[in-house]
Amino acid sequence: MRTRLIAVLVGVVVLVLAVQDIPLASHLRSVERDRLVTRLERDAFVLAGRVEEVLEAGGAGNTDRLESLVERYEITEDVRVVVVDVAGSAVLGPTFDVGEDFTNRPEILDALAGRPVTGERVSTTLGTDLFYVAVPVISGDTTVGAVRITAPASTISGAVNSRLAGLGAVVLISVVIAVIAAFALAGAITRPITRLTATTRRLAAGDLSDRADEDSGPPEVRSLARSFNTMVGRLEQMVDRQRGFAGTASHQLRTPLTALRLRLESAAIADEQQLGDHLEAALAETDRLGRIIEGLLVLSRAEGADVTLERSDVRAVIRERCEHWDPLAEEHEVRLVVAIDDAPMSVLVVPTALEQIIDNYIDNALDVAPRGSTITVGAELVDDGIEIRVRDEGPGLSAEERAEAFGRFWRAEGANPGGTGLGLAIVRQLAESSGGHAELRQAPDGGVDAVVFLRGS
Ligand SMILES: Nc1ncnc2c1ncn2[C@@H]1O[C@H](COP(=O)(O)OP(=O)(O)OP(=O)(O)O)[C@@H](O)[C@H]1O
Ligand SMILES: [Mg+2]
Could you tell me the end-to-end alpha-carbon distance of the chain, in angstroms, rounded to an integer? 52
CATH of 219-302, one of 1.10.287.130, 1.10.1200.10, 3.10.20.90, 1.10.10.60: 1.10.287.130
In contact, 187 and 169? CB cutoff 8 Å: no
Using pLDDT thresholds of 50, 70 and 90, give the confidence band for residue 390.
very high
Mean pLDDT throughout 343-372?
91
* pLDDT higher than 60, residue 255: yes
The predicted pLDDT at position 13 comes to 80
- Ligand 1 atom 28: the closest Cα is on which residue? 411
Higher confidence at residue 332 or residue 237?
A: 332
Least-confidence region, from 158-167, 322-331, 398-407: 158-167
d(CA 172, CA 421) in angstroms, rounded, equals 79
The DSSP bridge partners found for residue 129 are 122
Q: Tell me the C-alpha distance between 433 and 258, whole Å.
A: 34
Ligand 1 center from residue 448 Cα (angstroms): 11
Q: Which residues pair with 336 in a beta bridge?
A: 375
Q: What are phi and psi of 207, to 5 degrees?
A: -90, 90
pLDDT at 358 over 90: yes
Name the residue ranges covered by the structural domains of the chain: 2-158, 219-302, 306-455
For the whole model, what pTM was predicted? 0.53
- Angle in degrees, CA 138, 139, 145, rounded to 5: 50
Handedness of CA 155, 160, 161, 162 (dihedral sign): positive
Report the CATH superfamily, name and number, of domain 306-455: Histidine kinase-like ATPase, C-terminal domain (3.30.565.10)
- Name the most confidently modeled range: 229-233, 325-329, 437-441: 437-441
The verdict on the CB of residue 448 being under 6 Å from ligand 1 is yes
Question: Which ligand 1 atom is nearest residue 392's CA?
Answer: 1
CA of 260 to the centre of ligand 2 (A): 21
CB burial class (10 A; 0-12, 13-18, 19+) of residue 454? buried
The pLDDT of residue 20: 76
Reported as a pLDDT band with limits 50, 70 and 90, residue 428 is very high
* Closest ligand to residue 390's CA: 1
User: What does CATH list as the number for 2-158?
Assistant: 3.30.450.20
Position 60 scores a pLDDT of 52
Atom of ligand 1 nearest to the CA of 414: 31
Compute the Cα dihedral for 392, 394, 395, 397 and give only its sign: negative
Q: Which of 411, 428, 429, 449 to mutate to test the pocket of ligand 1 (most atoms within 8 A of CB)?
A: 411
Among 62-71, 208-217, 354-363, the least confident range? 62-71
The answer to whether the beta carbons of residues 138 and 144 sit under 8 Å apart is yes
Measured in Å, residue 415 CA sits from the centre of ligand 2 at 10
pLDDT at 366 over 90: yes
pLDDT at residue number 387: 95
Ligand approaching nearest to the C-alpha of 291: 1
Model confidence band, residue 378 (pLDDT cutoffs 50, 70, 90)? very high
**Which of the pair, 424 or 307, is modelled with greater confidence?**
424
Whether residue 391 contacts residue 441, with contact meaning beta carbons closer than 8 Å, is answered with no
- Residue 57 pLDDT: 64
Dump pLDDT digits (tens) for 17-50.
788 777 887 888 788 788 888 888 888 888 888 7
Residue 175 near ligand 1, beta carbon < 6 Å = no
Quick one: which atom of ligand 1 is closest to the CA of 364?
8
Which ligand neighbours the alpha carbon of 369 most closely? 1
CA–centroid distance, 365 to ligand 2, in Å, is: 8
Confirm or reject: Cβ of 179 under 6 Å from ligand 1: no
Ligand nearest the Cα of residue 421 is 1
User: Ligand 2 mean position to 237 CA, how many Å?
Assistant: 27
What is the full DSSP assignment across 156-221? HHHHHHHHHHHHHHHHHHHHHHHHHHHHHHHHHHHHHHHHHHHHHHHHHTT-TT----SSSS-HHH
Mean pLDDT, the chain, rounded, equals 85
Q: Is residue 61 pLDDT above 60, yes or no?
A: no
> What is the predicted pLDDT for the residue at 369?
95
pLDDT per position as a tens digit, 83-105: 888 888 888 777 777 778 888 88
pLDDT score, position 306: 60
